[in-house]
A and B are shown apart, each in its own frame.
Chain A
Amino acid sequence: MIRLEKRPQPSRQMALATPLLAVLATMVFGGLLFAVLGKDPVQSILTIFWQPLFGEFAFYYRPQLLVKGAPLVLIAMGLALGFRAGIWNIGAEGQYIMGAICGAAVALAFYPLDAWWIFPLMVICGGLGGFLWAMIPGLLKVKFGTNEILVSLMLVYVAEQFLSSMSLGLLKNPEGYGFPGSRNLQQYASAHNAEIIAGSGMHWGVVAALIAVIFAYVLLTRHRLGFAIRVTGEAPRAARFGGVNPARLVLFCLGASGMLAGLAGMFEVAGPAGQITIDFNVGYGFTAIIVAFLGRLHPIGILLAGALMALTYIGGDIAQSQLGLPAAAIQVFQGMLLFFLLALDVLTNYRLRFGAAEVA
């Protein structure tokens, strides 16, 4: 019999080791899955983890890592602040869309004016769009005690409808020959979120993600607000006793995560995506939830988890095209990663004991 025994305090070593163990377990069981599908497991795992970084076409894939990783890290960082305090913003996808629409709308309103302040204004409005969209579940929760999980999730679908309405209506490219979608911002220099170093994949969103990570790290470790977030998550009554105002904390956490998601959307629409289209959003807002947990809601962890997640995306694409692995198998593979992480999480607080169980 295997039994779990509660540790007197959470183990630090295990907290650091479990993500690595989870990645290893995913490789082993993912390899088995690929073997059952008739593919060479070692070859498949290498394709996913090795090819994008050091393979023949790495010069093309490496910048892609930054492009895919940046929005994930940016969104996940904001979500983690709330998750730490037990405030569950599940609607980052919607806030991402609203940030993109607001940022793009500003640019399109001034098109074709050439001015240095257009891009900064887009940044502000993109963040504001996500912030305001997240304030809806925030204010409803504070005023009426609604569940922020449901409200923020439902608002994703509202935002998606709004996105299609915008790309077919108000923001549609007047010179687009009737095709849905806005003008391409990559062709509008004042609004283009161009690469800072050509060919590196390093655009302003990557910079923003790094700043967010540093900022969140300082907030959580050195600032009263971060302390309030952590105590609220650990023991809400103790936080109240310590003087935390729960309503203000809800608004801060939802607002901050909404703003960061909005920024991610804005950087995406002004850079890699280029235009507002019906299928502009590709699920970064939902994947970021996995990234936040994979990174144990810790800023540095999220940075690494974002990189890992981006890697499996890109590696998965390569595996699909080169080895003919079905897309569903890649999704199962990514799902395994989260599953093993959460399952192994139990080892942080519990110790495994082998031997007969006893009445206790």
Chain B
Amino acid sequence: MTALLDLSGVTKAYPGVVANDNVSLTIQPGEVHALLGENGAGKSTLVKMIYGLVKPDAGQMSLNGAGYAPADPRAARAAGIGMVFQHFSLFDALTVAENIALGMENAPPMRQLAAQIKAVSETYGLPLAPHRLVGDLSAGERQRVEIIRCLLQEPKLLIMDEPTSVLTPQEVEILFKTLRKLSAEGTAILYISHKLEEIRSLCDAATILRLGKVVGHCIPRDTSAAEMAEMMVGSALKPPQKAAGPVGDVLLELRGLSLPPASAFGMPLRDISVSVRAGEVLGIGGVAGNGQDELLSALSGEAQVPAATVFLKGADVGRLGPNARRVAGLLTAPEERLGHAAAPDMSLTENAMLTGAARQGLERNGLLNWGAARSFANQIIADFDVRTPGPGNAARSLSGGNLQKFVIGREILQRPEVLVVNQPTWGVDASAAAAIRQALLDLAEHGAAVIVISQDLDELMEISDNFAALNEGRLSAVRPAAGLTVAEIGQMMGGAHGMEVAHV
């Protein structure tokens, strides 16, 4: 039997880095093939070449035994390859059917297309009403739009890039049923992820990349997650250690915090009440877009909140701005590193000044002490192992993981009493992520209260003492993290968001 897709010796170099070095990969029809690797291992470059977005420098690709060299994504789609990206490209203000029509070469009349969408969605257990506005859909439903857009082209190979990062565990189950059904019908799936348990339950084969090279193949069902992780990273990882320190007084308390949405498709915060004690790590889970950013800006002081809703050590800080809250001991690190936590084109010294000015004594009477800021930046770089030539380099010249270490380090070194971080290890490689988690745990051990907002449930279970979930701007009841089952967490996150499976 001929392989569906065969890559041999594919190489792609960018200035200063070889993204793919002599990579070979074979996918059989109907196979669910996992592509595993850390950030920067070359997974994205490889699938971009298959999808015609990037041209390889060397090597051969063949599809069904014939040579395959797509000039652009249109050619790839015509050859029967579909791709669902991690970040959706959908217009909020258009309906599902209109969004799908936009991505098609020759869109049929709207009524006919709606019927097709309905047919495909029912066949594959992906219920979706063609006339709904995309802006009103949950993240899981939006992903369905992207998947159905691909399925309408009847692909032979479907590429999925980190599809579960925006889903609740229940939604993941629904997606996996669909993917298994597709595979049973002969559609091959190339599945990119770094969530090892998912890969073990779904995939038939796995190819592992590290630094652009294939470092191993395995059958995920017969390989343990630890073994796969070791192949990905190249060495065994030390899980973060937490000393169960004594839990002290309540440091931060929210009482009935509500906040109207900042924009038309934003999420309001609804009646959030929670308290965090000294030495405690509170994990807040939830699917993206359920109020995480809004909660962080209400805590950082960027958003104006009503009086008597946010209390720090018993004092109402709700009307204070970001710097007054920093002085009081409440520090934050937002999710978006470039443009929010740091100014991309400014140097690390300047970015150290950005949040450190008030608390680190970097300014006096409004005059800035750049020498002190530079040594603060140098201290962050040294203590948090930030890989950069020096503090004079622009923030955007750092890799995601290094910049994240800088941002988290900048806040931790200011000795916060309460630290709130949003997605602290998003897009960060495994060893850097472990270092960041350890730093957060150390901070709690020294008596700070830490709130970690994250969409990575494994991360939250690993470091939190207590767990709550955001769903539609509401915070669930807080429960001890130890002993929570995946099903319980899923329910706290809002279950399947009303996405019941169509019975086929």
Contact = CB atoms under 8 A, between A and B. Distances in A.
Interface of A: 8-10, 222-225, 227, 230-231, 234-235, 237-243, 245, 358-360
Contact of B339 (A8, A237, A243, A358): A237
A245 B71 CA distance: 49
A42 to B, nearest CB: 41
A241 B355 contact: yes
A240 B332 CA distance: 13
Given A224-B357, A224-B368, A234 B55 contact: no
B371 to A, nearest CB: 12
A360 B13 CA distance: 11
A359 B71 contact: yes
Nearest to A218: B367
A98 to B, nearest CB: 29
A231 B323 CA distance: 15
B321 A245 contact: yes
A237 B332 CA distance: 14
B53 interface: yes
Contacts of B355: 241-243
Contacts of A245: 321
B354 A231 contact: yes
Contacts of A234: 343-346
Contact of A359 (B72, B332, B339, B346): B72
A67 B72 CA distance: 60
A9 B336 contact: no
Interface of B: 52-55, 71-72, 300-302, 321-323, 326, 332, 334, 336, 338-346, 350, 353-355, 357-358, 363, 366-368, 370, 393-394, 396-397
Given A231-B346, A359-B54, A241 B367 contact: no
B55 A235 contact: no
Contacts of A230: 346, 350
Secondary structure at chain B's binding surface: helix, strand, loop or mixed? loop
B353 A227 contact: yes
A224 B394 CA distance: 20
A224 B71 CA distance: 51
A256 to B, nearest CB: 15
A239 B355 CA distance: 9
20 contacts: A9-B394, A9-B397, A10-B394, A224-B357, A224-B363, A225-B366, A227-B350, A235-B338, A235-B345, A238-B341, A239-B343, A240-B322, A241-B300, A241-B334, A241-B341, A241-B355, A243-B322, A243-B326, A358-B55, A359-B53
B325 to A, nearest CB: 9
Contacts of A223: 366-368
Nearest to B373: A227
B322 A10 contact: no
A358 to B, nearest CB: 6
Contacts of B368: 222-224, 227
Nearest to B339: A235
A242 B72 CA distance: 42
Nearest to A223: B366
Given A224-B363, A358-B55, A241 B302 contact: yes
A98 B53 CA distance: 57
Contacts of A8: 394, 396-397
A245 B321 CA distance: 9
Contacts of B302: 240-241
A231 B343 contact: yes
Quick one: which of A239, A242, A245 has the most chain B CB within 10 A? Answer: A242
Contacts of B370: 222
A242 B397 contact: no
Quick one: which of A8, A237, A241 has the most chain B CB within 10 A? Answer: A241
A225 B55 CA distance: 48
Given A10-B345, A223-B366, A241 B322 contact: yes
B355 to A, nearest CB: 6
Given A237-B336, A237-B339, A359-B52, 12 more contacts: A8-B397, A224-B368, A234-B346, A235-B340, A238-B339, A238-B340, A241-B300, A241-B355, A243-B326, A359-B55, A360-B54, A360-B55
Given A227-B368, A358-B55, A241 B397 contact: no
A1 to B, nearest CB: 15
Nearest to B12: A360
B393 A9 contact: yes
A9 B396 contact: yes
Closest 7 CB pairs of A and B: A243-B323, A235-B343, A243-B322, A242-B354, A9-B394, A359-B55, A238-B343
A246 to B, nearest CB: 10
Contacts of B363: 224
